[in-house]
């Protein structure tokens, strides 16, 4: 038995996964409402096929053979990593019966459609029954996966390898201790004028601006495309096809522009993974937290930087001439106003992590049977008030605002917070290794930084676990102090405190 045979088999699984990705992209962007039911069944069937191939006797044979000490020790570093990832995935998948995977996939596909309707109507009761089904499946899966201390650990493992609930709780405690006093300090300072961000913005012109910033970011438009969706996402359809989406607000530029930069950051990661790892498990992202670090870097550390707007502001003025008489410094401060928001994807850099802490705490309580699905709207509203001093006026701007639970993605949200922390630590390192980074960005040279990301992070795919990658890139473990240093320096300047 040779590794080539193993890679070929994984390649066939990858092709089916690409088909599912395309169907999911279409379901979230273009599909007519009457096509949802049948599409969900097709996705369910393909998902079952992928699952069955991933847990078939042939895969068991590969896992058993390549884990034999004599064989394993003879493999290259990359091949050993592939065997490690495949073995871990096999054992996790093998614990779930195929019929449950198919039913779960169908429920989640329907769940996303029902969520869209419930959100449009601001009616949690409409979404509650399907969410209850999804949660029950997830609880059952955690028991089948197995865990040592907390049932939620079994879900975290699917998004952030080797990270536990206790790890997250320690990070949350440290972050709260440093973050809450700084938010209080900012809240007492004079708020920059951000009314200049409001107005009437034609959707076609917003799309043009989004395309321009993707080009500036060096996103390969020949290897992807931009589309509109209810909840922005990035999806890799296959080699050479990584698509981004955004959402347009006719009254405000921020959602579409920074949403595009965010998703573009995800896409650059996918486009930058070494072609050597095509259709392998190594050829995927190290974790969702690492993935999120790349998107948050582009959205915030570059997209909301003074240096970026020194070069990109003329392009904005060209497309939206109403900004011609507004100084770029005023615009820079406006896009960096710290103001609590009910909507996570519209939250500022300083308060964003509180949204994630809220969701993490709710998820962990649901999975451990301390909270019922029926109680979610009330619990959500009370936590939002506790953390941000605000109360949603309806379910759409509260518990129904995110698509993740509809897709069965509990355990995902902590990756967003980890992403912010990874991003700050990576960016601090990039500044040390590229001393004139800000000057390069101000001149329109975003490629230098993109190449740094590609060399240090992107090209490796999942060759390293997140904790190992952070050590390799920065020389130390994840430390939330880099994030605090970044926001303290930036926002003390913006707010003059």
226 bridge partner residues? 244
What is the Cα–Cα distance from 479 to 317, expressed in whole angstroms? 39
pLDDT at 389: 87
Query: Does 493 have pLDDT greater than 90?
Result: yes
pLDDT at 48: 87
Which band of pLDDT confidence, cut at 50, 70 and 90, is reported for residue 81? very high
What is the Cα–Cα distance from 328 to 162, expressed in whole angstroms? 44
**Residue numbers annotated as active site:** 263
Mean pLDDT (whole number) for 355-368: 96
Average the pLDDT over each of 97-101, 363-367, 427-431 and give the range with the smallest value: 97-101
Q: Where are the domains of the chain?
A: 3-146, 165-495
Query: Does 449 have pLDDT greater than 90?
Result: yes
Q: How far is CA 283 from the centre of its chain?
A: 17
pLDDT at 239: 85
Distances (CA, A) of 135 to 298, 377, 473: 33, 16, 37
> pTM of the predicted model, to two decimals?
0.89
pLDDT at 158: 92
> Where are the strands (E) in 264-375, listed by range?
none
Tokens of 307: 């240096």
What is the Cα–Cα distance from 299 to 293, expressed in whole angstroms? 10
pLDDT at 346: 80
What own/partner pairs with CB < 8 Å and gap ≥ 24 does 84-87 have?
Answer: 85/281, 85/282, 85/462, 86/6, 86/10, 86/59, 86/62, 86/281, 87/63
Query: Does 481 have pLDDT greater than 90?
Result: yes
pLDDT at 342: 94
Tokens of 175: 């972050």
Mean pLDDT (whole number) for 169-186: 91
What is the Cα–Cα distance from 320 to 163, expressed in whole angstroms? 45
Mean pLDDT (whole number) for 120-148: 96
- pLDDT, tens digit (0-9, with 9 covering 90-100), for 261-305: 999 999 999 999 999 999 999 999 999 999 999 999 999 999 999
Please report, rounded to a whole number, the percentage of residues in the chain having pLDDT higher than 90: 88
Mean pLDDT (whole number) for 17-22: 95
- pLDDT, tens digit (0-9, with 9 covering 90-100), for 195-221: 999 999 999 999 999 999 999 999 999
What is the Cα–Cα distance from 414 to 330, expressed in whole angstroms? 33
**278 SS3 class:** coil
Sheet holding 226-228, edge to edge: 226-228, 241-246, 234-238
Query: Does 422 have pLDDT greater than 90?
Result: yes
> Where are the strands (E) in 124-240, listed by range?
226-228, 234-238
What is the Cα–Cα distance from 279 to 8, expressed in whole angstroms? 9
Which band of pLDDT confidence, cut at 50, 70 and 90, is reported for residue 335? very high
CA atoms within 13 A on the CB side of 449: 32
Q: How far is CA 120 from the centre of its chain?
A: 23
What is the Cα–Cα distance from 435 to 186, expressed in whole angstroms? 29
CA atoms within 13 A on the CB side of 290: 30
What is the Cα–Cα distance from 211 to 219, expressed in whole angstroms? 9
Q: Which CATH architecture has domain 165-495?
A: Orthogonal Bundle (1.10)
CA atoms within 13 A on the CB side of 136: 9
- Mean pLDDT computed over every residue of the chain: 95
Tokens of 8: 């070929």
Which band of pLDDT confidence, cut at 50, 70 and 90, is reported for residue 162? confident
Residue whose token pair is 């000490």: 69
Query: Does 62 have pLDDT greater than 90?
Result: yes
């Amino acid at each position: 038995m040779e590794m080539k045979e193993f890679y070929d088999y994984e390649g066939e699984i990858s092709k089916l996964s690409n088909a599912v990705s395309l169907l999911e992209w279409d379901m979230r962007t273009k599909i007519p409402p009457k096509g949802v039911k049948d599409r969900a069944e097709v996705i369910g069937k393909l998902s079952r096929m992928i699952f069955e191939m991933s847990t078939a006797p042939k895969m068991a044979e590969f896992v058993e053979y390549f884990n034999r000490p004599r064989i394993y020790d003879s493999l290259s570093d990359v091949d050993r990593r592939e065997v490690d990832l495949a073995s871990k995935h096999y054992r996790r998948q093998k614990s779930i019966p195929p019929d449950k995977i198919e039913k779960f996939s169908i429920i989640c596909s329907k769940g996303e459609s029902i969520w869209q309707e419930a959100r449009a109507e601001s009616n949690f009761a409409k979404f509650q029954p399907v969410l209850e089904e999804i949660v029950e499946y997830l609880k059952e899966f955690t028991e089948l996966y197995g865990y040592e201390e907390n049932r939620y650990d079994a879900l975290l493992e699917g998004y952030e390898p080797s990270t536990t609930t206790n790890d997250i709780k320690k990070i949350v405690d440290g972050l709260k201790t440093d973050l809450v006093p700084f938010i209080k300090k900012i809240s007492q300072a004079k708020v920059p004028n951000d009314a200049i961000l409001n107005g009437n913005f034609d959707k076609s012109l917003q799309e043009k601006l989004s395309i321009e910033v993707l080009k500036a970011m060096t996103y390969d438009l020949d290897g992807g495309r931009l589309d509109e969706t209810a909840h922005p996402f990035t999806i890799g359809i296959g080699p050479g096809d990584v698509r981004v989406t955004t959402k347009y607000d006719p009254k405000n530029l921020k959602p579409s522009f920074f949403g595009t930069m965010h998703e573009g950051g995800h896409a650059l990661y996918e486009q930058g993974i070494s072609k050597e790892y095509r259709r392998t498990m190594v050829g995927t992202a190290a974790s969702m937290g690492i993935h999120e670090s790349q998107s948050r870097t582009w959205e915030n550390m570059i997209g909301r930087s003074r240096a970026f707007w020194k070069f990109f502001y003329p392009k904005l003025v060209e497309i939206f001439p109403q900004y011609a008489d507004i100084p770029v410094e005023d615009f820079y401060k406006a896009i960096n106003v710290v103001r609590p928001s009910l909507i996570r994807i519209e939250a500022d850099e300083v308060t964003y992590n509180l949204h994630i802490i809220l969701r993490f705490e709710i998820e962990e309580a649901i999975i451990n049977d301390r909270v019922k699905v029926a109680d979610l709207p009330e619990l959500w509203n009370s936590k939002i008030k506790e953390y941000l001093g605000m109360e949603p006026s309806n379910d759409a701007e509260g518990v129904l605002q995110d698509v993740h639970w509809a897709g069965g993605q509990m355990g995902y949200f902590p990756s967003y917070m980890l992403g912010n922390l990874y991003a700050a630590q990576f960016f601090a390192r990039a500044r040390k290794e590229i001393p004139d980074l800000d000057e390069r960005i101000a001149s329109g040279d975003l490629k230098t930084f993109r190449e740094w990301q590609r060399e240090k992070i992107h090209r490796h795919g999942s060759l390293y676990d997140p904790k190992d990658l952070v050590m390799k890139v920065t020389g130390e473990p994840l430390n939330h102090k880099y994030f605090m240093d970044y926001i303290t320096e930036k926002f003390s300047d913006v707010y003059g405190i």
